[in-house]
Amino acid sequence: MSIAIEQPLPDIASYKSLENEQLSDRIERVREAMGAELLILGHHYQQDEVIDHSDLRGDSYQLSQMAAENTDCKYIVFCGVHFMAETADILANRPEVLDQRGYRVSVTLPDMSAGCSMADMAGIEQVENCWADLDEIVDTHDITPVTYINSAASLKAFVGKHNGIVCTSSNAPAVLEWAFKRTSRVLFFPDQHLGRNTSLKMGITNDQMPVWDPYQLEMGGNTDAAIERSKVILWKGHCSVHQMFQAEHVEMFRKKHPGINVMVHPECPREVNDIADVSGSTGKIIEVIKNAEAGSKWAIGTELHLVNRLKKENPHLDIHFLSPVVCMCATMYRIDLAHLCWSLENLANGTQVNTIRVDDETAEWSLVALERMLSVK
């Protein structure tokens, strides 16, 4: 690897003063110099200028899985949020892969402030306290904990230790079926909307789905009777982006654009999900648009950058963002060209910044839960 880099490297503030064209040129120089040893991952919600420099793009789990399958890279730079980089570290450094490669793959998050508000709504101590409280009313051996992949590694480890499983937005129905073959109840966190929308389609009723509020001292704000009759105990958490979409937005678009198809992510509230024409994961949304009939009209309820990119890449379709207000993932937006360039040049200079490393025990139990997810068909 040979690249001329200013010595010593300036801090991130200096990069912020550079034009995007300058930053792009410097990013590409590092990519060329590091070659196959470097793998840049870009989540679908990232800004276009960041996606342009990504080797792979996809949703959170898809990217981590693709990274885990790459046998050449030594460095992963994850343009996403914290929990995604954690998952990449866990999967890329599985014991059998470490034995094969003979070295750890290091994972970098260009901006450590790129978190996830949903993931932050369920802390490990809160979940452990919830589990202990539930055990006073019902036998927790008869509860399967399920965590959405949009969660911290500590929560993935928790479900791994307690015979639970991880789910994605696309395989949530299969995961719940897996869980109910083993126990009569499920504790689903951190996104209540994905849990509710999935469970309702399985015939579970709202009165069987109490919502656990971690800030309520007594049984998460529920009565003992509510817990006893529960099938799915939902966590009071949500995605700040998808929470913004409302039923009135759907009605407005249908009135303004007769014949329009409304498609939303299952992280949207029930009242939106129930009246949409299509509800599906990020991958499904992209696939539906890819196969849509030319000239068809679509209003899409998911993150703004993705919707705008779909609109740009599919000019033969009439695509709209399902909200009159801007709904973008503010934490994803923190990853910009300045942070990407700064982290890459440090990496090329032999000084890794913003390293994401999950401790061995957490990684071990998280992997158990993730591998259970992979086994579900």
- The CATH number linked to 58 is 3.40.50.10800
- 129 with 89, same domain: the answer is no
Identify the pLDDT of residue 2: 42
Say whether 43 sits in a helix, a strand or coil.
Answer: strand
Identify the pLDDT of residue 4: 47
CB atoms under 10 Å from CB of 258, counted, come to 8
Summarised one tens digit per residue, pLDDT across range 91-124 is 999 998 888 888 999 999 999 988 777 788 899 9
- 235 with 246, same domain: the answer is no
Domain that residue 236 falls in: 118-240
Beta strands in 322-364 (DSSP E): none
Average pLDDT, the chain: 92
Domain count, the chain: 3
Summarised one tens digit per residue, pLDDT across range 239-249 is 888 889 999 99
Distance CA 362, CA 161 (A): 10
Residue 57 inside a domain? The answer is: yes
Is the separation of the CB atoms in 198 and 281 below 8 Å? Answer: no
Which tokens hold the place of 189?
Answer: 């966190």
Q: Quickly tell me which residue has 């590694």 as its tokens.
A: 153
Summarised one tens digit per residue, pLDDT across range 198-235 is 999 999 999 999 999 999 989 999 999 999 999 999 99
- 294 with 259, same domain: the answer is yes
DSSP letter (8 states) at residue 355: B
Distance CA 11, CA 8 (A): 9
Residue 1 inside a domain? The answer is: no
Out of 22-26, 81-85, 160-164, 224-228, least confident range: 81-85
Number of H helices, E strands in the chain: 18, 13
- 219 with 172, same domain: the answer is yes
Say whether 60 sits in a helix, a strand or coil.
Answer: helix
Summarised one tens digit per residue, pLDDT across range 323-333 is 876 655 555 56
- 61 with 43, same domain: the answer is yes
Identify the pLDDT of residue 6: 52
Listed residues 240, 258, 287: the one ending a domain = 240
Phi/psi at 66 (5° precision): -65, -40
Nearest to 269 by CA among 301, 298, 300: 301
Confidence tier at 1 by pLDDT (50, 70, 90): very low
Listed residues 270, 296, 321: the one ending a domain = 321
Average pLDDT, integer, range 354-368: 96
- 195 with 265, same domain: the answer is no
- 352 with 257, same domain: the answer is no
Listed residues 209, 225, 240: the one ending a domain = 240
Strand order in the sheet with 106-108: 56-58, 38-43, 75-79, 106-108
Confidence tier at 78 by pLDDT (50, 70, 90): very high
How much of the chain exceeds pLDDT 90, in percent? 76
- 145 with 108, same domain: the answer is no
- 289 with 274, same domain: the answer is yes
Q: With the C-alpha atoms ordered 66, 72, 73, 74, is the resulting torsion angle positive or negative?
A: positive
Residue 204 inside a domain? The answer is: yes
Distance CA 332, CA 213 (A): 26
Confidence tier at 53 by pLDDT (50, 70, 90): very high
Residues with Cβ within 8 Å of residue 181, at least 6 apart in sequence? none
Say whether 14 sits in a helix, a strand or coil.
Answer: helix
| The residue type at 206 | N
Between 47 and 200, residue with greater pLDDT = 200
Whether pLDDT at 268 is above 60: yes
- 277 with 216, same domain: the answer is no
Which residues are paired to 188 by β-bridges?
A: 146, 234
Residue 38 inside a domain? The answer is: yes
Out of 93-107, 165-179, 255-269, least confident range: 93-107
Residue 89 inside a domain? The answer is: yes
- 165 with 265, same domain: the answer is no
Residue 326 inside a domain? The answer is: no
Distance CA 94, CA 118 (A): 26
Identify the pLDDT of residue 99: 82
- 96 with 143, same domain: the answer is no
- Distance between terminal CA atoms of the chain? 43
The reply to whether the predicted model has a pTM over 0.85 is yes
CA separation, residue 264 to residues 66, 68, 254, 301 (Å): 25, 29, 14, 4
